[in-house]
Amino acid sequence: MNEREQLVDALKYELKQQGKTYADLAAVLDLSHASVKRLFAESNLSLDRLEKICNFLNTDLASLVGTMEKRANRIDQLSLEQELELVKDAKFLCFAHALFNKWSFDEIVETYDISEHEAISMMAKLDKMKLIEMLPGNRYRLLISRKFGWIKSGPIQSFFEQQLQSDFFASKFAQEDEIRIFLSSMLSRGSIDTIIAKLKKLASEVNDLHLDDEKLPRDKKKGSSLVLAFRPWETRVFSALRRHQ
């Protein structure tokens, strides 16, 4: 089932959930019942008609895509074994990371020291792991969801944490598109809860922006990383001066 068919299947599911019928859509789209039935059978819905149906169902395209992905059983998180398989080969991890960010096959081969033969082999491996579906012409379909994330404190996160210490923070953060903020405060439990909630909201907003920018050409985007961290903490220099009670 291709993505257009999956989207129509999600529409059918939403119609059923709301107790709506093709006859209801016929009035909305100003078409005959037979015409609506044919559009769904052929998965041939224009964007204008799709928007009208979404408005009728009091939903939007983003929610519909979410339903589509759930029904397609897309992956929210890898297994421990899959993460270990990725992290043991830096070239394979780089290739997978690029695919997960929707780079094309040619873009990866042109940008990184990965031969076409290696790239095809890696695509086949990811297909076997059921993380992508290989398509003709070195194209692919991702089988991970929009809410995909690495295992908390798992192999991939541990790998990137090592890079944070040795590479990410080895910067003055003085460039136009860089920023580093460090604050130290005395806060109540309520204030701490507020800060944590705001950080989670910001992380969600960054993910939304990532999804909004997916269709932009790669030369209009920059690989970007954001680190969010907050915890009760005192530097060892100060804690070493505390009187032991």
Domain spans of the chain, in order of start: 3-71, 80-142, 171-245
b or e along 68-98 (b: 16 or more beta carbons within 10 Å of the residue's beta carbon)? bbeebebbebbeeebbebbbeeeebbbbbeb
How far is C-alpha 242 from the geometric centre of its chain's CA atoms?
45
Q: What is the pTM of this model?
A: 0.61
- The CATH H-level superfamily of 3-71 is lambda repressor-like DNA-binding domains (1.10.260.40)
Alpha helix (H) ranges present in 57-149? 61-71, 80-87, 90-100, 105-111, 116-128
Please report, in tens digits, the pLDDT of each residue of the chain (245 residues total).
Answer: 567 787 888 888 888 888 888 889 999 899 998 898 888 888 888 888 888 998 998 888 888 887 777 666 678 889 999 999 999 999 999 999 999 988 999 999 999 999 999 999 999 999 998 899 898 999 998 888 767 888 989 999 999 888 877 888 888 999 999 999 999 899 999 999 999 999 999 988 888 888 778 778 888 898 898 988 899 988 888 888 888 76
CA angle 90, 92, 96 (to 5 degrees): 115
